[in-house]
A and B are shown apart, each in its own frame.
Chain A
């Protein structure tokens, strides 16, 4: 099957984003993946579902993006021989996603050399698959043995440093195993899944309305991104179009969320390079923005204000002025701080060449989002596949090629500047009118896709509709899936004390992938 034919052969899903969905066999799946790779495209997400109640088989779904938009391919998987072709030789990023599908659904990649578990630790046995429909969410197993087979590095003078799951700072739990010689890191192996709390299973049987609240809590720092992607998915399966004002406000919230996270990260990056002044300054600006959010929209992080069909809050003229004034202040201060960061020899010494990811490695491993753009991977759904209102804002995509901590710092400064520009445009052009459209009925068995460029990278929400406007299956995909494995490469050859700095420059989500 030819990739070029897909957009004419497969139906385009209703909704804001260009997404085509087709059912394929094993051969076509691999061929199309190869063509996507050759055409410069990439893997966005891979997930499975249990369709045995409906048509007697399981299904594997793969979300791929290339120039025309997103292609979602569904492969029926036999319930007696639940295997699918390994895709990790084409897209290395597929490896952990496939292992998660094996843990959660019992569908196995044939031909893959990596059969280690991923999301499962010791809370349930290996022959139990929580996302199968026959599994009851309340089932309780005694904690067993984890016995995760870490890769051992041997050689003269090699020793291991094991860190976590409880880390030294206020960060999320995960385990990092460094193999080092002296101070230099030979290899880092990550073990995640500590925060797995059954989110995907929890979604099943929620109503489309109830799901919005949970979607906003998949990764709290990206609550707007997820809430918008979830709303898009619901609006896609129910053929709902939110009013223009709601869409413009959503973009305002998404850009505010980007600014919040970038400001916070710039502060911590200063702190991790021993410039506490940077933390103090940026976190004042972040707090100013948080307080503005709280006053204007009732929540400092904007949780629960994007809902299916529209938004749950409005903005009046006084609010417009308040935002404009806050932005003016942040723009002014950030410019001063950028000058200080750029001129500070000690900081630049820590930032430059540290945690380097070359462009070709980034392309091969599928490094995405902000970190990808810092390594020459020019993908930004706001610029390339703009939905309303981005189609009228002419988003400037920031990219760099150096791929080190310094590049990821610069990305953040420049993206803050662009978000400020976008918000000003939004405030100027914000259309009047309704905030909410009534949400239609979902047809059982249909799939809806939400796809939003969050501050970290692209968020995908795949929603499979059940009976009576309920969720049959929901898979949220965080860009951290792609980027965590690249962090293992970024640290190689660096010294252990630079790990916190490199890690912070990626700032990946743990809960977003542990689910």
Chain B
């Protein structure tokens, strides 16, 4: 025990300041009212879904939990079930073998919900594209609020994407429909 405490004290506090939200990352018209976001933004539960990535994006998601980014001190934590989640953080191109699982996970997440698509693959299908086995970008399968490009995006970029999704859009846009009722484009 002495060794552990000594090591903790020697290590000190590593945590750095978080990035600011960035409107350029928004994919769709904001679909959650500012009021709800205000509450969600203080205690956000995220369910990560790997829909077919190369596992590179996951490596950077893991890093969000390290002491430098320390995502939990912002009130953001990863949960084990979509039923507990406010946000889905989705990587991949969506493989066709994960298409149904992703849709079901989305349906199992209670409204109001947010979706952040990660990585070049999540944003536009990336190097894997669309094929007999791949649906391409996440927005082809479920509605997406914010996209975070990069291969893989850095932990700071991912955190910025998450914070953007839970912050109010600075340039208010008109809601076209209800919460995520819009039909995703190009889905099969």
Contacts and interface: CB of A to CB of B under 8 A. Distances in A.
A286 B69 CA distance: 13
Contact of A143 (B54, B99, B154): B99
For B54, B67, B93, B129, the residue with the greatest tally of chain A CB atoms inside 10 Å of its CB is B54
A340 B131 contact: no
A194 interface: yes
A173 interface: yes
Interface in B23-71: 48-63, 65-68
Contact of B132 (A141, A165, A168, A169): A141
Given A171-B58, A197-B52, A221-B55, A284 B67 contact: yes
A264 interface: yes
Nearest to A201: B131
B73 interface: no
Given A194-B95, A277-B8, A343-B3, A220 B128 contact: no
B50 A173 contact: yes
Nearest to B151: A303
A280 B81 CA distance: 24
Interface of A: 121-124, 130, 135, 137-143, 165-166, 168-173, 193-199, 201-202, 213-214, 217-221, 223, 264, 277, 279-281, 283-284, 286-287, 290, 300-301, 303, 336-337, 339-340, 343, 509-511, 514
A194 B3 CA distance: 43
Nearest to B130: A138
Nearest to A300: B154
Nearest to B95: A197
A195 B52 contact: yes
A220 B133 contact: no
Contact of B81 (A124, A168, A510, A514): A168
Given A196-B95, A197-B52, A165 B63 contact: no
Which 5 residue pairs of A and B lie closest in terms of their CB atoms, listed nearest first? A220-B56, A198-B133, A168-B80, A123-B96, A283-B66
Given A166-B105, A220-B56, 18 more contacts: A123-B133, A130-B132, A130-B133, A138-B132, A143-B96, A168-B80, A194-B97, A217-B151, A220-B59, A264-B59, A280-B66, A300-B154, A301-B152, A336-B7, A340-B3, A343-B3, A511-B55, A514-B95
A137 B132 contact: yes
B7 to A, nearest CB: 6
B97 A122 contact: yes
A137 B136 CA distance: 13
B56 A123 contact: no
B4 interface: yes
Nearest to A515: B133
Interface string B91-119: 01101111111000100000000000000
B14 interface: yes
B59 A221 contact: yes
A218 B67 contact: no
B62 A264 contact: yes
For A194, A336, A339, the residue with the greatest tally of chain B CB atoms inside 10 Å of its CB is A194
30 contacts: A123-B132, A135-B132, A137-B131, A138-B132, A139-B132, A165-B98, A165-B101, A169-B78, A169-B80, A172-B53, A172-B55, A194-B52, A194-B98, A195-B97, A198-B128, A202-B127, A202-B128, A214-B127, A218-B54, A220-B53, A220-B54, A280-B66, A281-B11, A283-B66, A283-B67, A284-B14, A284-B68, A300-B60, A303-B151, A339-B3
Contacts of A303: 56, 151
